[in-house]
Amino acid sequence: MGKVVITGIDTNALPKLSGKEQLELMRRLKAGDVEARDEFAVCNMRLVLSVIQRFRGRCDNTDDLFQVGCIGLMKAIDNFDISQNVKFSTYAVPMIIGEIKRYLRDNNSVRVSRSLRDTAYKVLKAREELIKTNSEEPSVDLISEFIDVPVSEVAIALEAISEPMSLCDPVYNDGDDTIFLMDQVSDSKDSEDKWIENINLKDALSKLNDREKEIVMLRYYVGKTQMEVSEEIGISQAQVSRLEKNAIKEIKKAF
C-alpha cells in the first residue's frame, strides 16, 4: 500500500542502513572496495529521489534529472571526508542539487556569454572546494578572494546562470497552507489606492442610467469619438455630448 515508484524505482525496495552501517561501508569504499561503493550508492539513492522532486516542473524528463542527480551522489561519495564530523546526507544533498542545477543551466533556453559562463563555473568549483574544506556555505567575498575575481563579477556571473523561477513556485508550505512566489511579489499597478479607486468608479457607474453608461463605455473604454457613438446609438452628436457631460458630472459627484 505504501509503494511509491519514481523513475521506475520502487522506493520501498531500496535498502536502509543505520548510521553505523553506513560508516562501515564508507570506510570500506574509501579503502578501494568497489562492491561497498555500489552498495553505499544504492542505499543513498533516496537522497537523489527526494531532491529531484524540487525540480520536476523544470524538466520534462524526470529520468534525466535522476541520472544527473546520481552523478552528484557519486561525486559526493568520492569526495566525502569521513574524518569530518558531518553526516553524509548533509554533504551530499547540496552536491546533488548543484549537479542538477548545472545540468538545467546547460540546457536552458536562456543563453549567456561564454566569459560569464566560464567565470560562473570557476565560482561553482571554488564553492564546492570551500564547502569541502570548511563544511559550510562560503560567502561571495570568500569565493572572490579564493579565485581572485572581483566580488561584483562573481555576483553577476552567478546571477547570469541562475535558474529562472516560476511565479507558481512554492516558497513556504505549512502543511495546509502554501505560499507561492507570486504572493511575495508586489504589484505597483494594482495598489491599494488603485483598488479603492476602481471600487469607487464601479459604484459611480452604477448610478448612471443605461444610455449614459453606454456612452461612457463607448467613449472611454472602447475609444470611439462622439460622432461614432452618435451613429452607433442613433442620436445626434449634441445629445451624446450633453449626456456624456452629465455622466462625467455624476461620476465626479460620486467620487
Nine-digit cell string for 48 = 537523489
pLDDT at 164: 66
Amino acid letter, 149: V
DSSP character string of 97-166: HHHHHHHHHHT-SS---HHHHHHHHHHHHHHHHHHHHHSSPPPHHHHHHHHT--HHHHHHHHHHTSPP--
Confidence band for 192, pLDDT divided at 50, 70 and 90: low
CA-based nearest residue to 9, from 54, 42, 57: 42
CA-based nearest residue to 8, from 45, 57, 55, 59: 45
Residue 240 vs residue 10, higher pLDDT = 240
Q: Residue 6 pLDDT more than 70? A: no
Amino acid letter, 118: D
Mean pLDDT in residue range 108-133: 79
Mean pLDDT in residue range 19-34: 85
The answer to pTM > 0.75 is no
Residue 246 vs residue 135, higher pLDDT = 246
| Domains of the chain, each with CATH number or no CATH | 1-94 (1.20.120.1810), 192-254 (1.10.10.10)
Q: Residue 7 pLDDT more than 70? A: no
The residues, ordered by sequence, that sit 6+ positions from 163 with a Cβ below 8 Å of its Cβ are 58, 101, 104, 105, 108
